Amino acid sequence: METITTSRLIIRAFKLSDAADEFEFASLEEVGFNAGFKPHINIEETEKTIARFIAQDEVWAIELKETGKVIGSIGLHPDSFRKDMNTKEIGYVLSPSFQKQGLMLEAVNAVLEFGFDKQNLALIGANHFAFNEASRKVILKAGFSYDGLLRRAKCLYDGTKVDLMLYSFDKKQYYSQENKK
């Protein structure tokens, strides 16, 4: 997995030694609820998740350059809605302690560039639960186009059915004059 650097971040492959940092935010109810996973109840659960990230080779750790602390994760996954079309879907999680600083937008922009330049993707999709306003803001600031609402598209770990807001970013759109990064 290639490492991506930005002015404040190192976006890199996960290591099992990242478990304590990851558990710090993955155990929070608000993080799990907004991202769609059951909050981690112990460090062993986090270690299993990181081992899965390493095996799947599609999720990076987001490390803060200044401290070396892992503050989130970001990935390019097989697109849930567009099959066999040279597309991926971006997904991310950020510790609440580091939100509202532009860090996730910085990571998303770097991963978009990687996806279009290095992986030669034709389109990158994104989605968020309809109630997740923070994710909506990041997605729109990054330049994604709104595709629509898919009602009752996901079932959360507690059985709650939730609506998904769907977005996409086409490679041609990405390289257009007004959206050039």
Residue 111 identity (one-letter amino acid):
V
| Segment holding 151, helix H or strand E | strand 145-155
User: Counting runs of H as helices and runs of E as strands, what totals does the chain give?
Assistant: 6, 8
Q: What is the pLDDT of residues 66-76, one digit of tens each?
A: 999 999 999 99
Residue 119 in domain: yes
pLDDT at 181: 47
Residue 109 in domain: yes
pLDDT at 85: 85
pLDDT at 83: 84
pLDDT at 179: 52
Q: What's the CATH number where 71 sits? A: 3.40.630.30
Distance CA 110, CA 73 (A): 13
Distance CA 139, CA 41 (A): 29
Residue 181 in domain: no
Residue 118 identity (one-letter amino acid):
K
Residue 40 in domain: yes
In this structure, the chain runs to a length of: 181
Q: Does pTM top 0.75 for this prediction?
A: yes
Q: Which domain holds residue 89?
A: 4-175
Reading the chain (181 residues) residue by residue, the pLDDT tens digits are 899 999 999 999 999 999 999 999 999 999 998 998 999 999 999 999 999 999 999 999 999 999 999 999 999 999 989 987 899 999 999 999 999 999 999 999 999 999 999 999 999 999 999 999 999 999 999 999 999 999 999 888 888 899 999 999 999 999 984 455 4
Residue 148 in domain: yes
Residue 78 in domain: yes
Residue 180 in domain: no
pLDDT at 103: 98
Distance CA 168, CA 148 (A): 10
Provide the H-helix boundaries in 70-178.
103-117, 133-142, 171-175
> What is the domain count for the chain?
1
Contact 71, 64 (CB under 8 A): yes
